[in-house]
Amino acid sequence: MTDSSSTVRVRFAPSPTGYLHIGGARTALYNYLFARKQGGVFVLRIEDTDRERSTPAAMQAILDGMRYLGLDWDEGPEVGGDHGPYFQSERVEGYRALVDGLLESGAAYRCFCSRERLDELRKEQMAAKQRVHYDRRCRDLGADDVAARVERGDPFVVRFAVGEGETVVDDLIRGRVVFSNDEIEDFIVQRADGTCVYNLAVVGDDSGMEITHVIRGEDHLTNTPKQILLFRALGAPVPTYAHIALIHGPGRQKLSKRHGAVSVTEYQEQGYLPEAMLNFLVRMGWSYDDRQEIFSREELVEKFSLDGISRSPAMYDLDRLKHLGNYYMRQRSVADLTDLAGPRLVAAGLLPEEAARTRRAWLERMVALEQERVENLSQIVDRVRFYFEDPTEYEPKAAKALRKKPEVGEALVAFADVLEEKFDENGPAAMEEEARRLSEARTISMKDLCQPMRAVLTGRSFSPPLFDVIAVLGREATMRRLRAAPEIIKSLGGGAGGKSS
């Protein structure tokens, strides 16, 4: 062999039957980090043998999700490589050849047992409280008998002939896991329709792609002894295994949609920054030391090792993701965030495309005001919406503030008059000063003036500092909304006849 024999080669092997699941993304990340740390090769292989359930859209979602996370693969779809094809559906000829080899060497055999017989057998074994296993009836059929049946066209499956003894998985995370071969039935490697089963395809691919380390979810651990038996029977080197404990939702349940979004695409759409997602994913099961919580991509590559992976299930903690989301929003520059939020504002129909350039400084001011408070980009869009559109709805608390003292409507109109003259030269502090003067003159507290003011301007009960908001909102919209205050208050049930709660 060339020096490739010393190169670490790992793979991520998703089945394109749905979205890129959080658990899958974590597996991909661990493989990626391990490869980068070891100077190895990261292969992406698409396990699309389930033709019914595999879709091009799911495949695209997986590739998009990986690109969003920056998990660039060295070999695989769209990038090629010299161990292809990288789609299982294009490798079926090779699997058949492997099965033929197994039959020839006697490591596998044809089984002609009918579905009825197998059902009967299962029932008997269950009734006798025995393990439900194929009883190996066809294992010792004579060669002539087999040939005659094949000649007749009798349907058959191909089964692997499991030998005596035990099969040991020396797992880098779980340690030594011993399986008694008694527990492994003579499993099917090729179905009656000629298609191969998952275990055979994976072994064919892992050996064909010269995979040295298989890092995958613990749900595959029970497949591993079968795969090891196949590697040995094929005379191929057995890769080193590392099985990662699963992710649990609160209450130790298997992670499901009940626990919040479990697809990477959803978080991508919400505009979580990739660095937040990476930190969220990596820490579900891996730690470096007791202290460090936040890692740059470079630090992860430098510090990652399989030793740091826990054997116990990781917890799915969305509060942590929110915390990380906010942390990374604060790390980015306002210019960066504006670059990222701009297209979303255009897509939301709030901003004409060219205005993303011509009104850049204005956009940056509003982004700067929200940066500290948001976790993702769609929250920015949501929270700056009022700069573009007069509110038509008022949050319950905002509506309540407007109903509280209906006469504040007139005060807000008066405030509009004060501001109108010198809006441009008035910075936020000067405007606040004017508001204070008005509140004294009208004996209305600042709070009772400003809360309704915030409500008519933004529709919300909560915003960045009000006078900063006004400065960004601009004269025209501010005047219009303040002057509409009496009307708005009336429409919300305040004022004449309205209840002041």
Which chain residues interact with ligand GLU by CB under 6 A? Answer: 13-15, 47, 202, 216, 220
Q: Whole-number minimum distance, CB 206 to ligand GLU, in Å?
A: 8
Cα separation of 279 and 293, whole Å?
8
Return d(Cα 382, Cα 353) in angstroms, integer: 18
Dihedral (CA of 353, 359, 362, 367) sign? positive
First and final C-alpha spacing in the chain: 83
The verdict on whether 404 is a catalytic residue reads no
Q: How many C-beta atoms surround the C-beta of residue 115 within 10 A?
A: 9
- Residue whose CB is less far from ligand GLU, 221 or 413: 221
User: Is the CB of residue 25 less than 8 Å from the CB of residue 314?
Assistant: no
**DSSP codes, 86-136:** -BGGG-HHHHHHHHHHHHHHTSEEEE---HHHHHHHHHHHHHTT-------
* The amino acid at 211: I
Residues ≥6 apart with Cβ < 8 Å to 295: 278, 279, 282, 288, 303
Q: For residue 78, give every residue at least 6 positions away whose Cβ sits within 8 Å of its Cβ, in sequence order, or none.
A: 63
The answer to whether the CB of 61 falls within 8 A of the CB of 20 is yes
Of 83 and 216, the one with the shorter C-beta distance to ligand GLU is 216
Considering beta carbons, is residue 201 or 485 the nearer one to ligand GLU?
A: 201
Report how far residue 215's alpha carbon sits from residue 248's, in angstroms, rounded to the nearest whole number. Answer: 19
CA distance 40 to 21: 25
Per annotation, catalytic residue among 257, 303, 404, 405: 257
- Quick one: how far is CA 102 from the chain centroid? 39
What is the closest distance, in whole angstroms, from the C-beta atom of residue 142 to ligand GLU in the complex? Answer: 36
**Which is nearer to ligand GLU, 14 or 285 (by Cβ)?**
14
Which distant-in-sequence residues (6+ apart) come within 8 Å of 8 by Cβ? Answer: 34, 35, 38, 39, 40, 41, 212, 213
Distance, in Å, from the CA atom of 260 to the CA atom of 321, rounded to the nearest integer, reads: 11
Shortest distance (Å) from residue 352 CB to ligand GLU: 43
Token pair 């920015």 is found at 380
Residue 202 or 351: which CB sits closer to ligand GLU? Answer: 202
Dihedral-angle region of residue 84 (phi above 0 means left; psi in -120 to 50 means alpha; beta otherwise):
beta
Integer Cα distance of 354 and 356 in angstroms: 5
Sequential DSSP letters for 153-165: T---EEEE---SS
The residues that are catalytic are 257
